Chain A
Amino acid sequence: MFRRADLRLAAAGAVLLAATSLMPGWLLVLAATALAKGIVALGLLLLMRAGLVPFGQAMFYCLGGYAAGLGSLWLGIRDVLLLLLLAGLAAGAAGWVVGLLIRRYRGIFFAMLSMAFSMILYGVLLKSQDLGSSDGFSVPRPTLLGLTMTGTPALRILFAVTVLLTVLLAWGVSAYLRTAMGQIGPAIRQNEVRVSYLGYEPDRLIHREYAASGLLAGVAGALVAMLVGQVDPGMGFWMTSGEFVFIAILAGTGGIWGSLGAAFILEAVHAIAFDVAPTYWRLILGGTLLVMILRFPAGLSSLAPRRVRRA
């Protein structure tokens, strides 16, 4: 049941894994961060297909990061995989709870409500002295199957875990997009009333996909927290959400490659701009994004060949 697209995904993962030993530490962190943001973008892809763009997705990214950090500090869980599981479940559960309310909203109301929730979390974290207020706290290096990791080898292992997880989650999302349920989101975007007249409650799908997108963002946040060794409320700030929205729009709704590619491009432009012009990097980043969005109005994923014929 493996398709050519799945093989491409596996091949891309294999190339990244093979390159691991050649990459310096800074590049490992950069590439792993890009992949993690790609995982966030996979979740946004689900919502974008249903015509929804949340302006507060960083809430789940931040929650995932804090869940991994606190799971380690408070619960004594050190294993990277268990921490990822914990973060995913925590953020997914939070997505489910917020989804109970947000499932009824569309368009700008959906976007702003999501942002409002994220600002509540940001505000709470900023005021929580036990969690380090605005400084956050450092996240201990996790272990992998009982092995302690330190220094650059630790980064290599975390990068490899990130690659494998990205491939696995991207495969999962692309498999979901091929199911019958995966077609309901685009149908909702195009004609929600008709979807309910076909016997499916649009709110229900949006609730599920919102929770799933929360889970994905949570896993991504946990990966970055363990990679950087630090969490702070900035992970949940609206600027982080804005970056995710940028990635999502740049990606388009055509499939997983647009999402992963957009995350990589944004992270790369970000790094280069910051390196070349430390004062004006925002200008360069913004300009580049503007050009790309003008050049590919339907997103990067519109470059991929489509299965449906258009007359």
Chain B
Amino acid sequence: MADAPALLEAQGLVMRFGAFTALRGISATIRGGEVVGLIGTNGAGKTTFLNMVTGYLRPTEGRVLLEGRDVTGTGPREMVGRGLARSFQVPQLFPEMTAREHLVLAEALADQGQRSLLGPLPEGGRAEAMLARFGLAAIADTAVSLVPQGQRKLIDIAMALMLRPRLLLLDEPTSGVSSAEKGPLMQTVFEAIRAGGVTVLFVEHDMEIVERYVTRILAFRDGELLADGTPEAVLRDREVARSVLRRKEVAT
């Protein structure tokens, strides 16, 4: 894995919001085929990091490279066009649309290179299989504003998967999901992407889930990269144990 080519590189990322510095120079590399867990307490800068490497936030300092190409300052549209997809800590949905409409639209936009958007929506296509896979068939025709939070989270993740990404970033996929459903949810996500050899970075507070899936861990503390290494090494790190794991039950 260590010799696989770098897919995503963050070089000295700094993010300042006014006088407050949320990220203080983060450098990390994600290589093709890795499954990386991003851990850190609430407010450590995990979401800010995802916002920057996906082009939503322009870093105050530093660069973002995707497959060696400098993509700093390009927007999410360009990043998605290059094979990236993400899900959100707070589901980012279209309140008036149904789950099915979300996935069908995602499919249409995923295939915009092959199929003209001036054609009909791809109804009855891959979206149906995705609805079934995530157990969303029963609520497929309900406006998502009326759907419970846990299922909204699933729709958010399913939309990202519809894009058939090469690099998938998940921001706390299991937050807001009942503890009994966390395991099955992650299993569904990884089943959905297993065939494609997708590279994954996910933010997670539940260390059991982290240990089950990841090949490497990045640990953030107060906007700094505290540790970067194998799960065994990072989870046994004293500083990580003291300042990150101690508050692992606080899920935000």
Contacts and interface: CB of A to CB of B under 8 A. Distances in A.
Interface of A: 176, 178-181, 183-184, 186-187, 190-191, 193-194, 196-201, 308-311
Given A179-B117, A194-B92, A201 B75 contact: yes
Contacts of A201: 75, 77
A47 B139 CA distance: 30
Contacts of A198: 80, 105-106, 109-110, 159, 163
Given A186-B94, A191-B94, A197-B76, A179 B120 contact: yes
Contact of A199 (B80, B101, B139): B80
Given A181-B118, A310-B146, 5 more contacts: A186-B97, A190-B97, A197-B54, A197-B160, A311-B139
B141 A199 contact: no
Nearest to A181: B117
Nearest to A176: B118
A191 B92 contact: yes
A187 B97 contact: yes
Given A179-B120, A191-B92, A197 B86 contact: yes
Interface of B: 54, 56, 75-77, 80-81, 85-86, 92-98, 101, 105-106, 108-110, 112, 117-122, 139, 141-143, 146, 159-160, 163
Contacts of A310: 142-143, 146
B85 A180 contact: no
A199 B110 CA distance: 7
Contacts, number: 94
A190 B92 contact: no
Contacts of A179: 117-121
A197 B120 CA distance: 21
Nearest to B111: A180
Contacts of B119: 179-180
A184 B93 CA distance: 13
A291 B65 CA distance: 57
Contacts of A176: 118
A275 to B, nearest CB: 41
Nearest to B141: A309
Given A183-B101, A309-B141, A197 B121 contact: no
Contact of B143 (A181, A191, A308): A308
Nearest to B56: A193
Given A183-B101, A197-B54, A198-B80, A190 B121 contact: no
Contact of B101 (A181, A193, A308, A311): A308
28 contacts: A179-B120, A180-B117, A180-B122, A183-B105, A184-B105, A184-B117, A186-B94, A190-B95, A190-B96, A190-B97, A193-B56, A194-B93, A194-B159, A196-B76, A198-B159, A198-B163, A199-B77, A199-B112, A200-B77, A200-B109, A200-B112, A308-B97, A308-B143, A309-B141, A309-B142, A311-B139, A311-B143, A311-B146
A180 B125 CA distance: 13
Contacts of B86: 197
A94 B159 CA distance: 37
B81 A199 contact: yes
A187 B143 contact: no
Contacts of B109: 180, 184, 198-200
A180 B121 contact: yes
